[in-house]
Every structure is written in structure tokens, then in C-alpha cells.
Amino acid sequence: MNGRVGALLAALLAAMLIVAIALAPAGLGETGIRADFAARNLAPQSGHLFGTDQMGRDMLARSLHGLALSLEIGLIAAGLSVAIAILMATLSGLGRGTDRIAGFVTDAMLAMPHLMLLILISFALGGGTAAVVIAVAISHWPRLARILRAELLQVAAAPYIETSRALGRSRVFIIRHHILPHLLPQALVGFLLMFPHAILHEAGLTFLGFGLEPSRPAIGVMLTEAMRHISAGRWWLALFPGAMLLALVLAFETLGSALRRLITPREAQC
């Protein structure tokens, strides 16, 4: 089995796990959301593998609901953020004038305190899922845009770019066919790093009261609630949602590295 086949299998496994998590809430229905006061604060046991919380909700079902929600918010927020970063990096690649504009906007965004920007945007949009997604997307792209711009400048200086120009290829062709495919692995890594970050910010905003409604089963909400109960010995409230979040992030990382190997032919053979 060579590197490419191995990477493809790893990517498929990780993708399957992510899809399974995304589809889980459909099968669970109301389990994990509706309170059952007859089964409050149960430790992990056969009926409730991850135990139950102070309102008697099954933590396994609740964690799966939370992961699906985090997945949705993280994916959209990080995806939007990466899209903005790629757009700004592409602007940098179009010419000196556009590079200056893109650089100014990126610097201006970086100059603003991160958390304050998040709170302001989320507050201005009235809170809720859409507000969190937009706030995280708008406040997180500048760092990745910087990395992508540096990568773009390096690729743009490669001899095959000047050869392409000498062969009569247009600037748009060069950006689309030569430069953007080289930025993809960096964008992918940026996306993967941004994904857990987005989830954490979602939890942070929710904790401060500008994010998701507390009734929604987000992992961030669960971990914040667990902080209050962990001193009472209810370790399962924090451990299982946290471990499942970790598994989801690891699945993304496996998917990301496998895809990077697949789209970098030389690396796949090493």
C-alpha cells in the first residue's frame, strides 16, 4: 500500500466519522434534549454510557447533539473565514495596488482586539447561531490571510510562474492554475486550526451571553455547565463531551493531513 492509498483510506475513515456525527441528531430525536428528572446525575452505566446531567439528560445523546451543532457552526464559520482569507490573498496576487489595499485591510483587522470584535459583531447582529458564525468568520481571517499571502509571494517567485508568463498565459490563469492549488494545503491547515478555535469562541460568546441560546446543546455550553458540577464529583459531564470534541478535532486533522498528502504528489510518495 503506497502513501496515496493510505492517505485516501485515512481521509475516507475520518470523513465517515464526521458524516456520522453530522447525521446522528436525526436518529436521536429528542433524546438528550428533553429533561428526565427521574434519572438525574447518574454516573456512566449500561443504560447511559456517558451518564446523565443535573436535568437527567443522557450525556451520550447530548454530546452527539452538541458535536453536530459545533460541527455546523465550526464548519460554516471556519469555511467563511478561509474563503475571506483566500480572497484577500488572491487580491494580493493580482498586483501591487491590490496588494496594498488587501494589506491595509488585513492590518486594520489585526489591530482590533480579537474578542472585542467578536462581542461587538455578535451583539450588533442580535446574538444567536447566525451572529456567532458571522462574528467568528469576520474576526478570524486576517492571520490566515497573512500566511497565505506569504505562501503566494513565494510561489509567485517560482521559475515555473515566469515560464508560464513567457508562454503567454494570463495573470488570472496563473493565479487559478498555478498559485491557488499551492495555497490549498495551507488553507486546509488554516481551516483545521480555525475549526476548534471557532468552537471555543462560540462557547466563549455563549458564556458571555452574546452567543447561542443556553437551551441549545452546544459542547461549549455543556463544558461551561460541567465546570459548576465537577467539584461535586460529576467528572463525566466534562470528560465525555470534551473527549468527543477532541475525537472530532482529531478526525478533522486526519482528514486534513490525508488530503494534503493527496494533493501534494511528492509528499505522498515519501
Sites of contact with other proteins (CB under 8 A):
158-160, 162-164, 166-170, 178, 181-182, 263-266
Residue closer to other proteins by CB (options 83, 161) is: 161
Residue closer to other proteins by CB (options 129, 264) is: 264
Got the DSSP string for 56-122?
--BHHHHHHHHHHHHHHHHHHHHHHHHHHHHHHHHHHHH-HHHHHHHHHHHHHHHHS-HHHHHHHHH
Residue closer to other proteins by CB (options 164, 224) is: 164
| Beta partners for residue 252, in sequence order | none
Residue closer to other proteins by CB (options 27, 181) is: 181
Place of cell 504528489: 265
What is the CA angle 216-221-224, rounded to 5?
A: 160
Residue closer to other proteins by CB (options 74, 185) is: 185
The Cα–Cα gap between 267 and 261 comes to 6
What is the CA angle 131-136-139, rounded to 5?
A: 120
Whether 200 and 206 have beta carbons less than 8 Å apart is answered as no
Least separation in angstroms between residue 11's CB and other proteins is 18
Residue closer to other proteins by CB (options 111, 167) is: 167
Least separation in angstroms between residue 128's CB and other proteins is 42
Whether 48 and 42 have beta carbons less than 8 Å apart is answered as yes
Least separation in angstroms between residue 66's CB and other proteins is 38
Single out the residue of 158, 169, 160, 174 nearest to residue 95, CA to CA: 174
Least separation in angstroms between residue 167's CB and other proteins is 5
Least separation in angstroms between residue 203's CB and other proteins is 38
* 253 Cβ contact partners less than 8 Å away, ≥ 6 residues apart: 192
The Cα–Cα gap between 206 and 216 comes to 10
Least separation in angstroms between residue 182's CB and other proteins is 7
264 phi and psi, to 5 degrees?
-115, 90
Residue closer to other proteins by CB (options 214, 265) is: 265
Least separation in angstroms between residue 180's CB and other proteins is 11
